[in-house]
């Protein structure tokens, strides 16, 4: 499993709190496209499946909610 950067950890924690991409972008003062790009990297590093039947945000949130 890849190690997440500080920013990726911040984004993952905000996803776990139920924030939208737009909400994360506003809170971290970054562009929404940066949030989307970071999420793709996070999913890859954490081996979260590309299977369209799996909700990646839910998978990430469930794994991060207690961190």
Residue 8, phi then psi, degrees to nearest 5:
-60, -40
For 20-47, what is each residue's pLDDT tens digit?
999 999 999 999 999 999 999 999 998 8
Kindly report the CATH number assigned to the domain that includes residue 54.
1.10.10.10
Inter-residue contact 11 to 39 (CB < 8 Å)? yes
- Does some domain include residue 42? yes
Provide the residue range defining the domain that includes 25: 6-64
For 48-64, what is each residue's pLDDT tens digit?
877 777 778 788 877 76
- Does some domain include residue 52? yes
């Amino acid at each position: 499993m890849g190690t997440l950067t500080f920013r990726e950890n911040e984004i993952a924690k905000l996803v776990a709190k139920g924030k939208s991409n737009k909400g994360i972008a506003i809170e971290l003062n970054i562009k929404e496209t940066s949030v989307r790009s970071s999420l793709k990297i996070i999913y890859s590093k954490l081996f979260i499946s590309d299977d369209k039947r799996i909700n990646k945000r839910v998978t990430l949130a469930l794994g991060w909610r207690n961190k």
